[in-house]
Amino acid sequence: ASMRKSRIKRTKTVCTYCGVGCSFEVWTKGRKILKIEPQVEAPVNGISTCVKGKWGWDFVNSEERLTKPLIRKGDKFVEASWEEALTFISNKLNELKGKYGPDSIGFIASSKCTNEENYIFQKFARSVIRTNNVDNCSRYCQSPASMALMRTVGYSGDSGTIQDIASAGLVIVVGANPAESHPVLTTRVKRAHKLFGQKLAVVDLRKNELAQKANLHLHPKPGSDLVWISAITKYIIDQGWEAKEFLEARVNGYDEFVQSLQKYTLDYAEKVTGLSKEDMIKLATMIHEADGTCILWAMGVTQHVGGTDTSTAICNLLLVTGNFGRPGAGAYPLRGHNNVQGACDFGTMPAWYPGYQPVQDAKARARFEEAWGVPLPKDPGFNNHQMVEGIFEGKIKAMYLFGEDMAVIDSNINHVDSAFEKLELFVVQDIFFSKTAHFADVVLPASPSLEKDGTFVNTERRIQRLYKVFEPLGESKPDWMIIRDLANKMGANWNYTHPGEIMAEAASLSPMFAGVSYERLEGWNSQIWPVQPDGKDTPLLFTERFPFPDGKARLIKVDWTPPMFEPTQEFDLHLNNGRLLEHFHEGNMTYKAKGITHKVPNPWLEVSPELAEERDIRNGALVRLSSPYGEVEVRVLVTDRVKGNELYLTMNTSKDKKSVNRLTSSYHDKLTHTPNYKEMGVKMDILERE
Ligand code: SF4
């Protein structure tokens, strides 16, 4: 028995499914996963996980894994050696760079990949190709929240830790469904609410699980959040409840800000949002009476034409009420992917080097030029959206995409697909032959997190180490190795042999990560940025100053942009969408977990009892939804979680006829170009009534 036991390996990893950042041990024998065992030492989750972390790993050994590079020959893909594939890509990139210039090439990184991989990817784009056209998928989700935080409080991250949320007097959740999207974080909130009397308010179109438990659930009209947030901010000021000393000592722009709120009276807000004045006063009073308020928000706020402004209104409200820089208070944009925070932190963004150093800042640029030994481009590059539009405009000729199924997850995918067809070179690096891979010229086989060393940053800015559980399957390789080898093929001289060396370089170039090192991150240890050179980290931000030259936060005036969708006679229903507990994103990984897929094999459409009665349909009815951009077919679940003419489509699928992004438009947030996934009008045709 001891022989047998000795062949069992236990390796610590960090979950690859959401931004909560649970860590646990993976017990393996050969390539078989015996179990997932969380340990008390895990800083975020202790002994908890959710269903995805516990059962969602079959995909790693799936027969569908890519194990060899593929090169397109006509309509077919043929297997190639790494040497052939990298030579092909390198020649083609050199040719296109020579012909059209470096800015004709675009790079999209992955928030499923490690910090080290994101770092090396942006280094490749900037120092080998010499373009700032590099972005990641936060463009599809939390870029508006990041921008709002940068312009008000100066750091784009959660104000405190998940533990801290549990110590707040009041938690407000806006436009998010954390019980399904961030399950282990939500158990902390549920416990604090149930056992310690923490107050809970949920503002959402849908009566989701947390809304059912909340002291107050408000259901505003779609896309009207900025209005009620500004109205309760004004009401709080009118009552004299603002945090006077805090505002005086630590915040700029108060008087102009108060002026800008004039039109946001409760009467106006009642008209626009459909919320009653009483309910808005109730929420304002809850904030006033609470010992610390945390506001959690996600895609229901950000994926709108005014996503950045609404996120800014949240920060303004927290500033006016003094809810920054103290425990149990602050702003918590909930990060979706496991490493969406880290992908941004480590520089896969068109305007920022690692550690949020602007590419336009001459001093920052000089630092990277010196370290990398080449001159770097001065202007910000294209973001994801601009790259796709750039293809149509003839500006982008080649794209390199890793770990992202853009042909499923971008909005208005019929439009995006037709862009990919125009590229002269399209490289897709992934663990599966994704839908996007069908458009590629070269497909490179990468490794998933269990086959990698590296680090992730979770939603609370916590950097954690993951260790390699398995060797890469077949000829697949970790993403950092692929990029290193390609860079060397193109004349760089990168001799990284381990991700720890990449982190050491990133830390030496970014004051924000100065004291981050693999020695300090050993085992269950973690560090929450910013990290001082001596390794001291920062679980709670803004205790003494905000990271602006004068140390003060800024109130920013914002105005409401009405949503793009108003019901018409043809497109008469509002369609919302979001995640399921059991599945992740387009489902490329979770649909390969047998237990999970057995339980939840398909997406569904939630229809209110009123609408079901009006249209004479029942549970299981098959309907076709159409928007001006495309159509999907899906079965119906009748539930009072939704109301009236508002529908809710679970978004986790890449099955072509069911994918929500057949319906979404190309409209986007004005400031960050995040698609307005949540503003959609559709019509519903009934194919089967039950
Ligand atoms: Fe993984 Fe998130 Fe579930 Fe934790 S809560 S186990 S990080 S999916």
- Sorted by where each starts, the structural domains of the chain and their CATH numbers stand as 2-61 (2.20.25.90), 70-140+355-454+467-512 (3.40.50.740), 143-333 (3.40.228.10), 573-688 (2.40.40.20)
pLDDT of residue 588: 66
Would the pLDDT of 387 be above 80?
yes
pLDDT digits (tens, 9 = 90+) for 222-258: 899 999 999 999 999 999 999 999 999 999 999 999 9
Give 98's contacts (C-beta < 8 A, 6+ positions apart): none
Give the mutation target among 26, 49, 54, 580 for probing the ligand 1 site: most ligand atoms within 8 A of CB: 49
Torsional sign, CA 605, 220, 296, 673 = positive
Atom of ligand 1 nearest to the CA of 458: 7
Q: Calculate the average pLDDT of the chain.
A: 91
d(CA 386, CA 417): 15
Would the pLDDT of 416 be above 70?
yes
Question: What single-letter DSSP state applies at residue 322?
Answer: T
Write the CA distances from 373 to 23, 267, 460, 595, integer angstroms. 37, 60, 34, 51
pLDDT of residue 407: 66
Would the pLDDT of 590 be above 80?
no
Cα dihedral 510, 513, 515, 517, rounded to 10, equals -110
Q: Is the CB of residue 8 less than 8 Å from the CB of residue 22?
A: no
pLDDT of residue 657: 66
pLDDT of residue 583: 61
- Asked whether this complex has an ipTM greater than 0.95, the answer is yes
pLDDT of residue 656: 58
Mean pLDDT of 616-632: 89
Tokens representing 81? 């050696």
d(CA 166, CA 195): 11
The three-class DSSP label of residue 116 is: helix
Residue nearest to atom 2 of ligand 1 (CA): 18
Would the pLDDT of 2 be above 60?
no
- Output phi, psi for 201, to 5 deg: -125, 135
pTM of the model: 0.91
Residue 187 Cα to ligand 1 middle (Å): 11
pLDDT of residue 596: 67
CB atoms within 10 A of CB 392: 12
Atom of ligand 1 nearest to the CA of 16: 1
Would the pLDDT of 654 be above 60?
no
pLDDT digits (tens, 9 = 90+) for 138-190: 666 677 888 899 999 999 899 999 999 999 999 999 988 888 888 999 999 99
Mean pLDDT of 655-665: 69
pLDDT of residue 403: 80
- The CA-to-CA distance between both ends of the chain, in Å, stands at 55
Mean pLDDT of 296-314: 87
Residue 14 Cα to ligand 1 middle (Å): 9
Burial 290-329 (b: 16+ CB within 10 A, else e): bebbbbbbbbbbbbbbbbbbbbbbbbbbbbbbbbbbbbbb
DSSP string, 120-164: HHHHIIIIII----EE-GGGGTTHHHHHHHHHHTS--S-SS-HHH
Cα dihedral 276, 277, 283, 289, rounded to 10, equals -150
Model confidence at 300, in pLDDT bands (50, 70, 90)?
confident
d(CA 225, CA 274): 11
Model confidence at 594, in pLDDT bands (50, 70, 90)?
confident
Model confidence at 585, in pLDDT bands (50, 70, 90)?
low
Closest C-alpha to 87, from 337, 409, 442, 357: 442
pLDDT digits (tens, 9 = 90+) for 34-80: 999 999 999 999 999 998 899 889 999 999 999 999 999 999 999 99
d(CA 375, CA 500): 26
Model confidence at 668, in pLDDT bands (50, 70, 90)?
confident
Q: pLDDT exceeding 90 applies to what percent of the chain?
A: 73
Residue nearest to atom 6 of ligand 1 (CA): 53
More confident call, 339 vs 690? 339
The three-class DSSP label of residue 303 is: coil
Q: Which residues line ligand 1 (CB under 6 A)?
A: 15, 17-18, 20-22, 45, 49-50, 52-53, 183-184
Model confidence at 458, in pLDDT bands (50, 70, 90)?
very high
pLDDT digits (tens, 9 = 90+) for 515-536: 999 999 999 999 999 999 999 9
pLDDT of residue 582: 65
The three-class DSSP label of residue 73 is: strand
> Any bridge partners for residue 401, and if so which?
108, 428
